[in-house]
Amino acid sequence: MAWNAACGTAFAALLTIAGVAATSRPAQADTVSIACGAVGQELDVCRKLSDAWARNTGNSVNVVSTPNSTTERLALYQQLLAAGSPDIDVFEIDVIWPGILGSHFIDLAPYTKGAEKDAFPAILENNTRDGKLVAMPIYTDAGLLYYRKDLLERYGEAVPATWEALTTTARKIQDGERRAGQAGLWGIVFQAKAYEGLTCDALEWIASYGGGTVVAPDGKITIDNPRAAQALDMAAGWMKDLAPQGVLNYSEEETRGVFQSGHAVFMRNWPYAWPLSQSEGSPVKGKVGVTVLPAGPAPDGRHAAALGGWQFAVSRYSKHQALAADLVVFMTSKASARQWALQGGYFPAIPALYQDPELLAANPFFKDLLPAFTSAVARPSTATGGKYNQVSDAFWNAVSDTLTGKATAKDSLASLQARLNRLSRGGRW
């Protein structure tokens, strides 16, 4: 696969570029600790890039692996930061965290030499709190639909443009394949464990039905509405026969495991799953297509992808702030963003890279799917600020109650609305 072949050469090239671009050479060598995620190839890319920085600057880097679940990662970070721990200098943070964690990070603007201006303005705005640039973007994310090209072809079905079409096609293929002896094939897999990933999936269903974003950008709580309930009813319907009960415990990697081993027709996941599904030894290599998530029903239905993405931030409690900032600038540079894209399929947060011929050759769908990224739906983390995680926790639990059949969508959204009203003291976040 061009992806993996490209990556060895690309890293070699990066080492040379990095050698020229390394910002400052410290008088005294030191060790910087960086907390990175380990979903898909994240940790591997993080290690390769930080090793390159260490070689170029004569310092050492200690890469600390963190839990796959963004919710567990947040809990770990909150513990460390609340204790003012100097153990981690650089934190890889989720796009929804600047409001929750921003006060623990330094302003990076004095170190970047304006490099942040290369990034998408909306991400920059998201990462700026009280005039401080609290994080530099690494890559941007959006929910995508993965499908089995070979199975759609075998059954003469088109790539579904609506959720309704997806449901019908998934059922037809699942039934047909099971009759032909594929007992373990499922129609659709997604992230339905009670955590932040379920918030993303459910927000996509609801926004695609025209049911809003739980809390509107002006702070108004909007979740108790009929379209949102219809969207959740649709997903609860899949639980009856199209999705394995196991999805209730799936985060991204479990979902990918089922799809990549050939046991699902459709999968909702982030871009990182693409190169892995096409890697040597993947049972679905050459059989996968990727496109925008389906739209909800007319007249208000639209395609909606949740906006995700990760950034690097430097802790206020770090004993090596300038050095840590230098590492962050290196790891988020244009050259590094190319490596995240070439090896891991991560969408750059730098618009100019979508014109880069080598990147487009390795990831032909970057260009086609870019509009899904630029129009992706943000979770209400800006409107709800430091309370976002409580809002999201209440939301994913309400959705989970619907998927498990504990409550109807209508009832669980009505009690969620009341709960969010109390949490916000009547919408004043």
Residues that bind ligand GLC (CB under 6 A): 70, 94-96, 141, 196-197, 200, 252, 270, 308-310
**What is the closest distance, in whole angstroms, from the C-beta atom of residue 145 to ligand GLC in the complex?**
16
**What is the closest distance, in whole angstroms, from the C-beta atom of residue 271 to ligand GLC in the complex?**
9
Q: Which two tokens stand for residue 69?
A: 């679940």
- If the CB atoms of residues 230 and 332 are measured against ligand GLC, the closer one turns out to be 332
Q: Which of 313, 293, 317, 311 is nearest to 371 (CA)?
A: 293
- If the CB atoms of residues 95 and 325 are measured against ligand GLC, the closer one turns out to be 95
- What spatial distance separates the first Cα and last Cα of the chain, rounded to whole Å? 49
| Nearest residue (beta carbon) to ligand GLC | 308
What backbone phi and psi angles, to 5 degrees, belong to 133?
-85, 95
**What is the closest distance, in whole angstroms, from the C-beta atom of residue 182 to ligand GLC in the complex?**
29
- If the CB atoms of residues 310 and 330 are measured against ligand GLC, the closer one turns out to be 310
Write out the DSSP string of 129-167: ETTEE--EEEEEEE-EEEEEHHHHHHTT-PPPSBHHHHH
- If the CB atoms of residues 95 and 231 are measured against ligand GLC, the closer one turns out to be 95
Contact 278, 1 (CB under 8 A): yes
**What is the closest distance, in whole angstroms, from the C-beta atom of residue 89 to ligand GLC in the complex?**
22
**What is the closest distance, in whole angstroms, from the C-beta atom of residue 263 to ligand GLC in the complex?**
21
Residue 302, CA atoms < 13 Å, CB-side half-sphere: 15
Contact 372, 295 (CB under 8 A): no
Contact 279, 152 (CB under 8 A): no
- If the CB atoms of residues 98 and 301 are measured against ligand GLC, the closer one turns out to be 98
Q: Which of 193, 181, 243, 177 is nearest to 69 (CA)?
A: 193
**What is the closest distance, in whole angstroms, from the C-beta atom of residue 375 to ligand GLC in the complex?**
16
Q: Which two tokens stand for residue 156?
A: 């003469």
- If the CB atoms of residues 269 and 318 are measured against ligand GLC, the closer one turns out to be 269
Q: Which amino acid is at 91?
A: F
